[in-house]
Amino acid sequence: MSSNEMRQFVLAEIPQGKLTNSNFKLETAPIPTPGDGEILVKTRYISLDAANRAWMQGATYRDAIEGGQVMAGGILGEVLESNDPNFQAGDLISADGGWREYAALPGSVCQKQPHIEPKTHLLSIYGVTGLTAYFGFLEICQPKAGETVLVSAAAGAVGTIVGQIAKIKGCRVVGTAGSDEKCDWLVNELGFDAAVNYRNGSVFKDLKEACPNGIDCYFDNTGGEILEAALFQMNIYGRISCCGAVSSYDGAPPQAGPRGVPGLLVVKRLTMRGFIVSDFFAGSSVGTRTDAINQLKEWVDAGKIHVLEDIVDGFENVPDALIGLLAGENRGKRIVRVND
């Protein structure tokens, strides 16, 4: 590789079942030259998200990723050259820069970021992950002190933050995760009141024990069996925040939805609502994007939120990092350090 070349991962083909390494192809390409209104960005960190896998299934809130394209993904990068008056060399930006070491991006799709340390917090607590937890939980669930809050994929990037915000709000917090070790960690290290290993084969009964007063708020990262069990245990006027459906991303599409829809929604007067975090950036009953970041920062600085990050080193490891995330091997926010 010459000095004007870089590495990038192309999605060689759309996976039919579980995502594997062979779905990606590592390529060498010329470092791009930014055009009018574009900036040249050097990738520092790449954010790994379950949504990366969902994007391969078809159009969502963004176009589907197609085979042969550079794999999409959130990055934190440093501006090297700028043809956009809003940016200059040395700025930090976040964007959907894709899995490559350098990118030429229109300035209009990049968000300038402050210089803070650790920089990774810009992709975790102060990035889409933290904001998703903040708005998706506070705005949609509207939790009240004393209520029971269930969070699925609780040991993941968003789940760890939702659980801690729920504790700050005075709720009883129960999480689900995929191993006994993770469950112990949620309770002993993160302050969850209880945790349920959904792989034990008794989700319904275990949730019943963990939520003796029923469930008032459910922050759903998974869909599937946990959602169905939760629906049957929701209290009247319960709120379900639909953040993701990771149980169905990495495999065949689900053949059926949860029983109890819509019957239980009617008799228990439940609300289920899906969202995309950017819907709330301009304003919500819990503030704007700036308000959210300020509040999260206050909680972090006061030691009320522990920021859990799972950093993987080396650009070449991005595909494995995503495959492992989909298998549930991370705790907290998984990020690949490319160059910092």
Report the interface residues with a second copy, using CB under 8 A: 54, 60-61, 220, 223, 227-228, 236, 240, 242-245, 248, 253-276, 279
Distance from C-alpha of 144 to C-alpha of 169, rounded to nearest angstrom: 7
79-118 as b/e: b if 16+ CB within 10 A? bbebbbeebeeebbbbbebbbbbbbbbebeebeebeeeee
Return the number of the residue (57 or 317) whose C-beta is nearest a second copy: 57
Closest CA to 92 of 120, 72, 73: 120
Alpha helices in 189-236 (DSSP H): 203-210, 224-233
DSSP 34-101: --TTEEEEEEEEEE--HHHHHGGGS-SSSPPP-TTSBPP-EEEEEEEEESSTT--TT-EEEEE--SBS
Q: In angstroms, what is the minimal distance from the CB of 263 to a second copy?
A: 4
As measured in angstroms, the least distance from the Cβ of 133 to a second copy is: 15
Shortest separation between residue 158's beta carbon and a second copy, angstroms: 12
Tokens 């989909």 belong to: 326
Q: Which C-beta is closer to a second copy: that of 97 or that of 223?
A: 223
Q: Is the dihedral of CA 59, 60, 66, 70 positive or negative?
A: positive
**Shortest CB 96 distance to a second copy, Å:** 16
Residue 77 CA to residue 93 CA, distance in Å, equals 5
Going by C-alpha positions, the residue among 141, 285, 314 that lies closest to residue 163 is 141
CB of 142 to a second copy, least distance (A): 13
Q: Residue 30: CB partners within 8 Å, gap ≥ 6?
A: 4, 5, 6
We find the least distance from the C-beta atom of residue 254 to a second copy, in angstroms, to be: 6
3-state SS, residue 322 = helix
Q: Which is nearer to a second copy, 244 or 319 (CB)?
A: 244
Distance of closest approach, residue 222 Cβ to a second copy, in angstroms? 9
Give every CB contact of residue 282 below 8 A, 6+ residues apart in sequence.
288, 289
What CA–CA distances, in Å, run from 34 to 53, 79, 84, 94, 265? 29, 11, 10, 17, 51
Q: Identify which of residues 225 and 329 has a Cβ nearer to a second copy in the complex.
A: 225
Nearer to a second copy, 43 or 152 (CB): 152
Least distance from a second copy to the Cβ atom of residue 294, Å: 25
By beta-carbon proximity to a second copy, the closer residue of 107 and 159 is 159
The residue (of 1 and 59) whose beta carbon lies closer to a second copy is 59
The DSSP 8-state label assigned to residue 118 in this structure reads S
State which residue, 82 or 132, has the beta carbon closest to a second copy: 132
